[in-house]
């Protein structure tokens, strides 16, 4: 379609999410308005398109695997929580880490999330599991935890592209006739300025406790009051509470995911199988260690799935937004409208700015990459600009919206993993994203001048 109407769903949904703080409502409106536009205003056809969009999401293999392994991780977390392993890990951390109490939780969250770079959702959920008890114990804001989880989520996967992110971008570059796509990707890593700035900021926050002085208004219920595993699943009376009962399941999960990813080359399938193996292996290990009886393991697994169930609804709606956006051609309309007559000096600046607009409107970094890379590769050839610089600017722009858009799936997962309202997480994180974007814009101007 690629007309100005393709912007309408985002223009309605984003303010609704911010004002009402009901993200599901905003996502639903996005998809509904998009279906009406695709049906050219005819309601019966709009309902049919809406059903088609949702069916396309729930029948997609990768989407199903992502949703199911997220729910199974919830079950695994519930089982670990019931065993008392989380409390045992908190005690072990207090005894063995020499950092002051205020820095322990943030540094642990940062280190864990950065180490799990093989897949976005996986790292966020596991890092949240490990760090949240410490944040609550030391009265640290859960909003800071959600910021750390979200900020390290996509940038780490892009900066260490030994995962599905790297494979995806290499395939996009190869499709544009790039002879050495791996080389171009590696060269572009240094030009992903927004990603590097975001990581530097989150390291500063974690290491020093620094917070930006300007903040958007938040709701009153943001610290330790929302339901989470620690509040809904209480360790059983005879729980030994050994930290090894936490390390064993995570070791199976991480090792299994890495090995299967190398063998299969399919991130969603590899992590799904790893989660199933980890859940089964943990049940066997707990039985062997006499942590709990087999029959006692079923209720916490079910409760863990129930706690994370809202994530399933959010993911279905978020994926539906992605399908709707693609069918409307929102990103292509923005890119083509803003492209115009370009001065080579402004190319990286404009590519990054357009990428920010597209990713913020659509909530998808991968979708933004798919739109911009086919545009920037020929632009680099025509204007004789470094392709690595323009590709880096496009990747940077995609990260911005993935980081702070109210319709981004990773934003939802980070907030749920930290036990905070998604819209409060967005309001807390947005000033950091704006600061990072402003600095990145300046760096792209400097970089083009220096490379000219």
pLDDT digits (tens, 9 = 90+) for 2-47: 577 877 887 787 677 667 656 677 778 888 888 888 888 788 888 8
Place of tokens 């171009």: 184
pLDDT digits (tens, 9 = 90+) for 269-282: 887 888 899 899 99
Looking at the predicted structure, is the pLDDT value of residue 259 above 60? yes
pLDDT digits (tens, 9 = 90+) for 185-214: 889 999 999 999 999 999 998 888 788 776
341-347: long-range contacts at Cβ-Cβ below 8 A with a sequence spacing of 24 or more? 342/379, 342/383, 344/383, 344/384, 344/385, 344/448, 344/452, 345/445, 345/448, 345/449, 345/452, 346/445, 346/448, 347/379, 347/383, 347/385, 347/390, 347/393, 347/448
For 182, the token pair is 């791996």
What pLDDT is recorded for position 191? 92
Looking at the predicted structure, is the pLDDT value of residue 224 above 50? no
What pLDDT is recorded for position 194? 94
Mean of the per-residue pLDDT values for the chain? Answer: 79
pLDDT digits (tens, 9 = 90+) for 175-193: 667 778 888 888 999 999 9
Instruction: Pick the range with the lowest mean pLDDT from 42-46, 92-96, 430-434, 445-449.
Output: 92-96
Instruction: Pick the range with the lowest mean pLDDT from 87-91, 155-159, 327-331.
Output: 327-331
Looking at the predicted structure, is the pLDDT value of residue 220 above 90? no
* C-alpha–C-alpha distance, residues 177 and 354, integer Å: 23
Which pLDDT band, with edges at 50, 70 and 90, does 249 fall under? confident
- For 94, 96, 149, the CA distances from 132, given in Å and listed in that order, are 14, 18, 11
Place of tokens 């620690």: 230
Which pLDDT band, with edges at 50, 70 and 90, does 436 fall under? very high
Average pLDDT over residues 294-300: 85
Query: How much of the chain exceeds pLDDT 70, in percent?
Result: 82
Average pLDDT over residues 325-333: 70
Of 364, 17, 82, residue with least CA distance to 245: 82
What pLDDT is recorded for position 175? 66
Which of 67-81, 153-167, 315-329 has the highest average model confidence (pLDDT)? 67-81
What is the phi/psi pair of residue 135, to 5°? -60, -40
- Is residue 318 within 8 Å of residue 27, measured between CB atoms? yes
Which pLDDT band, with edges at 50, 70 and 90, does 440 fall under? very high
What pLDDT is recorded for position 215? 67
Instruction: Pick the range with the lowest mean pLDDT from 54-58, 133-137, 265-269.
Output: 265-269
What region, left, alpha or beta, does residue 415 occupy, with left being phi > 0 and alpha being psi -120 to 50 degrees? alpha
Which pLDDT band, with edges at 50, 70 and 90, does 434 fall under? very high
For 258, the token pair is 């890495």
Looking at the predicted structure, is the pLDDT value of residue 168 above 80? no
Most distant CA pair in the chain: distance in Å?
Answer: 71
* C-alpha–C-alpha distance, residues 94 and 10, integer Å: 45
What pLDDT is recorded for position 142? 86
Average pLDDT over residues 103-110: 81
């Amino acid at each position: 379609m690629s007309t100005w109407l393709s912007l309408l769903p985002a223009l309605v949904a984003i303010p609704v999410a911010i004002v009402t703080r009901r993200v599901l409502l905003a996502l639903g409106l996005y998809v509904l308005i998009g279906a009406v536009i695709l049906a050219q205003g005819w309601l019966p056809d709009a309902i049919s398109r809406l059903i088609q969009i949702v069916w396309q999401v729930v029948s997609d293999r990768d989407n199903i695997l992502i949703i199911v392994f997220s729910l199974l991780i919830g079950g695994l977390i519930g089982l670990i929580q019931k065993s008392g392993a989380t409390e045992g890990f908190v005690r072990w951390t207090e005894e063995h880490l020499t950092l002051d109490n205020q820095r322990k939780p943030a540094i642990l969250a940062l280190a864990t999330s950065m180490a799990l770079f093989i897949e976005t959702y996986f790292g966020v959920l596991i890092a949240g599991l490990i760090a949240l008890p410490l944040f609550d114990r030391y009265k640290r804001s859960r909003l800071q935890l959600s910021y750390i989880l979200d900020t390290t989520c996509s940038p780490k996967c892009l900066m260490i592209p030994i995962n599905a992110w790297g494979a995806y971008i290499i395939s996009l570059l190869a499709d544009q006739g790039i002879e050495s796509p791996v080389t171009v990707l590696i060269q572009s890593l240094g030009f992903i300025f927004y990603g590097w700035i975001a990581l530097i900021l989150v390291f500063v926050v974690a290491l020093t406790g620094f917070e930006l002085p300007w903040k958007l208004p938040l709701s009153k219920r943001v610290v330790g009051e929302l339901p989470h595993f620690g509040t809904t699943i209480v360790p059983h009376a005879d729980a030994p509470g050994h930290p090894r009962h936490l390390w064993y399941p995570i070791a199976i999960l991480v090792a299994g995911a890495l090995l299967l990813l190398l063998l299969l080359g399919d991130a969603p399938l590899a992590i799904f199988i790893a989660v199933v193996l980890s859940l089964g292996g943990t049940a066997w290990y707990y039985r062997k260690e006499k942590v709990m009886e087999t029959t006692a393991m079923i209720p916490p697994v079910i409760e863990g799935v129930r706690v994370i169930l809202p994530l399933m609804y959010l993911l279905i709606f978020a994926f539906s937004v992605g399908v709707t956006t693609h069918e409307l051609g929102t990103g292509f309309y923005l890119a083509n409208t803003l492209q115009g007559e370009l001065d080579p000096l402004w190319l990286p600046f404009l590519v990054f700015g357009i990428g920010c607009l597209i990713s913020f409107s659509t909530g998808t970094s991968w979708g933004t990459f798919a739109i911009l890379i086919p545009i920037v590769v020929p632009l680099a050839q025509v204007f004789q600009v470094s392709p690595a610089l323009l590709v880096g600017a496009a990747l940077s722009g995609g990260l911005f919206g993935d980081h702070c858009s109210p319709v981004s799936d990773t934003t939802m997962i980070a907030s749920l993993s930290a036990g905070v309202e998604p819209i409060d997480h967005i309001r807390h994180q947005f000033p950091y994203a704006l600061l990072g974007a402003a600095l990145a814009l300046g760096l792209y101007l400097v970089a083009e001048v220096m490379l000219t």
